[in-house]
Structure 1
Amino acid sequence: MGIGFSPAAGDALLAWLDHLRALDGASANTLSAYRSDVAWFLSFLHEHHGESLGLARLATITQPDMRAWMAHERGRGLSARSLARALSSVKNFMRWLAEREGFDPTHVLAARAPKYTRKLPRPLTEEAARAVIEQVDLQASEPWIAARDAAVVTLLYGCGLRVSEALGLTGEAHPLPEVLRIRGKGDKERLVPVLPAAREAVAAYVASCPYPPTPGEALFRGARGGPLSRRLIARAMERARMSLGLPATATPHALRHSFATHLLSAGGDLRAIQELLGHASLSTTQIYTAVDATRIMEVYRAAHPRA
């Protein structure tokens, strides 16, 4: 099915995206996902009713319409998780449109998302995380590249940064301060304490790097001097986990999960961890309570005497 709907509906979608960009600071990736989800929804309604739906017609969407759309999306292969995300996008759009146009969106908002099992993050053990950093520091042919890769993974594990956040650091960040100001998803700022090990790793990289740190340019450089790509960090992590016999879940992002899980295990406050990670919602951070509980139960089952 091609995407097609009325000009009025298209204009409303663009206005909603502009609203999210201007007032909520939504990231480009988030806006792209919202645009796709709602466009498919509007296009389905266009095909389902055999007519171009204007704004007045959108105000009359029924529960059967919502059920038909969700069945269609599952039929074209959308997973329960992806459909739940798409439904959330549609609800947000219709709630905004209802406030602007003055209609009741209850039939849309009452639609229930399909149930799905939320995948828990797979953190590394503290020993494995340290081993990864050490292995990454040994495996590159060029000493400065080894130091670079070690500095990046140390930031991921030691500061809980996203890969994009670590690679987004520019020359002004050196030398790393005790508290780093990070601009993360949705252009939201947060303050992240920097461990001495992270400062030392970055300093060692800068000292050996043939490209001096330059304001406005990437701190972490590729072999030819351009910005370091996340693909190269993923490759370095893959080589390290294969050398250490770690599972495929030991990815660069798993180091960020490990940072949060190990803080929680050490008694860290959940809201403080939320701030450090830059999660907009506490529910996102609460995943780690389930991870920690799973680990505790594994230890319990292994240690408890059986009758």
Structure 2
Amino acid sequence: MELTRRGMMQGALAGATAGALGLRAGWARAALELSGATVEVLSDGHLMLPAEFIFGPMPGEELAGVLQPFGMEPAAALTPECNVTLLRKDDMVVLFDAGAGATFQDSAGRLGEALDAAGVAPEEITHVVFTHGHPDHLWGVLDDFDEPFFSGAQHLIGKAEWDYWIDPKTVESIDAGRTAFAVGAQRRLALMEDSMTFFGDGEEILPGVAAHMTPGHTPGHMSFEIRAGNESVMVIGDAIGNHHVAFARPDWLSGSDQDQPMAAATRSALMDRLASEQMRFVGFHLPGGLGRAERDGSSYRFVGENA
């Protein structure tokens, strides 16, 4: 299926803790206090996706049964949230992903307003860390004049992800519906090259922040474990992309992933770890962002924490 901006447009809060942190309902999805650190989930708006973009490869009859408890239909348009993670620790103010910016979808690109509600100016951000290079995570890195939106920040991206998007051959080899993704990523990353720092799997990229390779959604997709004292939370980007079928059947192939079998294997392994360790995590497209995974027989369920 060709996925264009126009086609996607045709597809069709905060809790008490967030209030205590001075966040405005609607922009703040959730907040979590760790030892000496605060993790806040801010809204960049939401996407408009045709159902086929995710459900295309899935078995129709079984899919209907999975979606029924959520009040969803297999053919209905999807409007997943976009949740950007903000970490405040010591003298660091860190964003995980930069949002969609103004040129991807009209329903997204609201991160500037969310930061304003959180009392943070873009120039106060010290680091921007990317999970991957898709438009809703990367395109907000530049302003309307192609200048860095977070002018005082160091920008960090996994080397494998950088290599994939900056390679001119990617535009030719990527699925036709994602050609605009590749063109947009290459242009923005090229403009940001001088301020970009690269890292690999397993590295501590910032004090208390470790990178974990979670490939498949994109070739170099990364998740990040934030640890403070004995507490931790994982920023998982799109490694687990929704709260319904990804939890009920993490082994199913999803149309949203570039390497679908690899992404399913990654998702299954990550889900098992998160459920086993009962580690909180922030998912970019999960309701409210913050939550846990619980086992439900042979599958899982998402337990949100909007507080």
Q: TM-score range by the shorter chain?
A: under 0.3
In terms of fraction of residues, the more helix-rich structure is: 1
- TM-score of the superposed pair, with normalisation by structure 2: 0.27
In terms of fraction of residues, the more strand-rich structure is: 2
Bigger radius of gyration, 1 or 2? 1
- TM-score of the superposed pair, with normalisation by structure 1: 0.27
